[in-house]
A and B are shown apart, each in its own frame.
Chain A
Amino acid sequence: MRWVVALGLCAALNAASFHLRPASSPLSQGLVADNAVESAGLLSLGMRRLAADLGFIRLLIYYGTPQPGAEEEEQVTQAVSSAYPELAARALRILDVDPTFTYATLYASGALAFNLNRPDEALRVLQVALSRDAHNVQYQAYVAAIGLHRRGDKAGVIRILEPILGESDCPAMIKNMMAYLYAQCGQQEKAAALYRLIQDTSKDPRYRRVAEEALKRL
């Protein structure tokens, strides 16, 4: 009898808990073979964010490793458009594990759209991100900016992305691209200010180096 009461109480508590937070959703996609054991291990310990962090570090290493025939500097500014074929898939995996990891989505979609010139893949990543977080202003701005970038509307891209430059999770890559666009559109002061910001705040030495050289040119 005691057991029945105890198990009944547990069930009632869990039912109340589920009722209070119905939003909690499971993984909708399967685990990918190359890191399935690690991801499953971390998820079973309740460490989705850490699993996403490790996925992001892998993405950075992947995107930071020069493709055959490419110079390191190209990595930062512009690479061959067919390079890094797995970038979108890796970004989607991270998004699947931790839908709140905005930076990873912005970083990957920015690289795809503005560095690798693969806007369709970038938009696919952003669509998935927006399906999880429809009100994210940064995602919305990126979608609009990619559309304008496709049409070659540099001023439009600046107008759309300028408000999100101040966000704490705006990647240095986007700041770098914006500074480049400012310079191209004749807004040298804004470009210099942004390059200085990258130099002062970015933790990525490659972007700091690019900013330093751009400032010399300006």
Chain B
Amino acid sequence: MKNVLLLALTGWRENLRSRFFLLSVAFAGVFLYMSLLLGVLAVEQEVRVLYDFGLGFIELMGLAGALYGAVTIILHEMETKTIYLILTRPVSRGEYLLGRFLGLMLSVLASMVLMAVFHLAILAAKGWRWTDPYALAFLGAYLKVFVTSALATFLAVFSSSALTAGVLAAVGWTLGHFLPEIRFLVQRASVLAAAPLAALSWIVPDLQLYNLRDRAALEAPLWWWFAYAALYSAVWLVLGRSLFRRKEF
């Protein structure tokens, strides 16, 4: 565990200096500011639009940073060969993968919190007062990014191509939001046509679970949010580790 923490903290320091992260936070700041224009169009619902747009944008920027980081975790270190000096020490491949993943998730959390602070400042300036659902919606957005990043990390180890892993993870993200629709279709389609959809509905992450941004209230207890994120991510990270252990450098 000591190695995992050490790798996570070093990864976090590395990411904070990454141009991609800095740009994404700066871009988010500019874009959130520009959302004020969209809010004006909604007249009396300005605050609602700013709230929805801001949370959605924070989530997407967090996802972009996380996916970029997750699919390049190993490839970047293989290219720069920094991985040699780590894996030739008493560090297991699993520790390395988990450490890098947690470092990335820590960095993504930091960037999302920064964006949220800016978003809250805009909302406060428009007369919005703090409500608990904001924190829960933010947490939900982060857990969605967390779960998808675990899947992306596995895909990056599996495919050895950052582009393929990124595209597949993005497809997972989309399908994860369409799970209720997939289940709806499965009930109405013929067995043959429904089989691939049904199979997908059991594998892709249930991201609607966390989509409090789109709902008025929690549909599942909060402990299940954490349990699902931890277990689902663990499944793909463990699978990723078993592939990573067989990887050659």
Interface residues of A (CB under 8 A from B): 2-3, 6-7, 9-11, 13-18, 20-21, 23-27, 43-50, 53, 56-57, 60-61, 98, 100, 103-104, 171-172, 202-204
27 A-B pairs with C-beta separation under 8 A? A6-B235, A9-B231, A11-B202, A13-B206, A13-B228, A14-B201, A14-B203, A16-B224, A16-B228, A17-B228, A18-B206, A21-B220, A24-B208, A26-B180, A26-B183, A46-B59, A46-B177, A46-B211, A47-B56, A49-B214, A53-B42, A57-B41, A61-B41, A103-B48, A202-B44, A203-B43, A203-B46
The segment from B89-97, B106-114, B236-244 found at the interface with A is: B236-244
Interface residues of B (CB under 8 A from A): 38, 41-46, 48-49, 52-53, 56, 59-60, 144, 173-174, 176-181, 183-184, 201-203, 206-209, 211, 213-216, 219-221, 224, 228, 231-232, 235-236, 238-239, 242
Q: A7 and B203 in contact (CB under 8 A), knowing A17-B209, A46-B214, A203-B46?
A: yes
CB contacts (< 8 Å) of B49 on chain A: these are 53, 57
Smallest Cβ-Cβ distance to A42: which chain B residue: B56
Query: Are B238 and A21 closer than 8 Å at their CB atoms?
Result: no
CB contacts (< 8 Å) of A15 on chain B: these are 202
CB contacts (< 8 Å) of B206 on chain A: these are 13-14, 17-18
Query: Are A47 and B214 closer than 8 Å at their CB atoms?
Result: yes
CB contacts (< 8 Å) of B177 on chain A: these are 43-46
Task: Known pairs A7-B203, A21-B219; list 12 more (Cβ under 8 Å).
Answer: A11-B203, A14-B203, A16-B224, A24-B180, A25-B184, A44-B177, A45-B174, A47-B56, A49-B56, A53-B45, A202-B44, A204-B43
CB contacts (< 8 Å) of B43 on chain A: these are 60, 203-204
Q: A14 and B202 in contact (CB under 8 A), knowing A6-B235, A53-B52?
A: yes
